[in-house]
Amino acid sequence: MTKELTGRRRGKPAGEELRRRAVAAVLEKGMTGHAAALHFEVSERSVARWVRRYRKHGHLREAPRPGRPSRSEPERERIFAVLEKRPDLSIRALQGALAAQGLVLGTGSLQRFLKRHGLGRGRHPARRRKPAPKAGGRS
């Protein structure tokens, strides 16, 4: 099997291309679900579910997942504007700057927003612990 199809992380959903190939192997080539699962390095249960979905709906797209929409995404430009002026802000400082503008977001929401956009924050440099002194440093 090609690396780009099976090189996914464990526990992550299979891409539509992988699902399409597995279903085609079963329905068009007559391969068993077990053989297709081994060939495409997925579970038999997944192959069976994909075949069932294709037969019932005529497509392999994932069903929409439940959850509430992000409150931070509609305010994306506002958050980026604050970060553009002061890119070194910690999460708490960013939270305070946004609150001053009337936008109240939780720390977790901001962390997820920043991570989603590749701007994840570690601890603020001023709050990092100082390295421990080396042993035998004093005479």
All structural domains of the chain with their residue ranges: 15-57, 73-122
Tell me the mean pLDDT per 10 residues along the chain, length 139.
54 84 95 95 95 93 83 93 92 94 93 88 56 64
pLDDT at 134: 75
pLDDT at 3: 47
What Å distances lie between residue 134 and 76, 95, 128, 130, 131, CA to CA? 45, 37, 18, 12, 9
